[in-house]
Amino acid sequence: MGTPVLILGDSGAGKSYSLRNFSADEMVLLQCIPKMLPFKAPGWKLNGKQLADGTTQRGNVLRSDDWSVVLDTIHRMVMAKNRRVLIIDDFQVVMQHENMSRAYQTGYAKFTEMADHIWQIITAATQLPDDFRIYFLAHTEESEGKIRMKTTGKMLNEKLTPEGYFSIVLRAIKKDGKHVFLIKGDDNDTAKAPPDLFPGKTEMDNDLKAVDVAITEFMTEL
């Protein structure tokens, strides 16, 4: 069973910056919004870029906001020789852009379909082999006094509840001028992790590589 992890945070909270200690040969980054990386990344290359000599560049950075491409990327991870980590940044964009592209469609069925697309993506992440980790980076919103993943409506919040599909939900925040991951919040926060994953900690430096190392050391087969 693959390990899906949800990383939540407002824009500027350090979600993308937390990727800085990964090497290009161990992970794939799927950017749902084309944007500059907030750190120097030797070896990181945009896959599919047309080079001056007419060849096509191969790399570890993909770009798409299409839910079917996201799903296909997860399925294709099993063919990777060395890479066992997929990072999707920012995941809520997949929902938002599909919602906008279907804005003029009438009827309630489209909301059911969009919720199903997100369910398929999250489910696919859990169906990868045991040594795969998939990190979903997404923005937050406050709903009924609770901080949770930003979605596009009641179908996802009430019927699917995305956070319920993740055993690990970390929240990226700024505290005392530093970027940190909140491991465990109060009753109004969805941050959570197995107690023995980060023993004695309620927060940590926002280093997703360090999180990944802790997860691989903690993983047990049922």
Confidence at residue 96, expressed as pLDDT on a 0 to 100 scale: 86
> Does residue 221 register a pLDDT over 80?
no
Confidence check: pLDDT of 1 > 90: no
CATH number for position 178:
3.40.50
| pLDDT at site 153 | 64
pLDDT at 69 over 60: yes
Task: Flag whether pLDDT at 186 surpasses 80.
Answer: no
pTM for the predicted model, two decimal places: 0.92
**pLDDT, average across residues 110-126:** 89
79-101 confidence digits (pLDDT tens): 988 899 999 998 989 988 888 88
HEC string of the chain equals CCEEEEEEECCCCCCHHHHCCCCHHHEEEEECCCCCCCCCCCCCCECCCECCCCCECCCCEEECCCHHHHHHHHHHHHHCCCCCEEEEECCHHHHHHHHHHCCCCCCCHHHHHHHHHHHHHHHHHHCCCCCCEEEEEECEEEECCEEEECCCCHHHHHHHCHHHHCCEEEEEEEECCEEEEECCCCCCECCECCCCCCCCCCEEECCHHHHHHHHHHHCCCC
Range of the domain at 39: 3-218
What is the number of domains present in the chain?
A: 1
Write the pLDDT tens digit of every residue in 132-182: 999 999 998 887 777 888 877 665 656 667 787 899 999 999 988 899 999
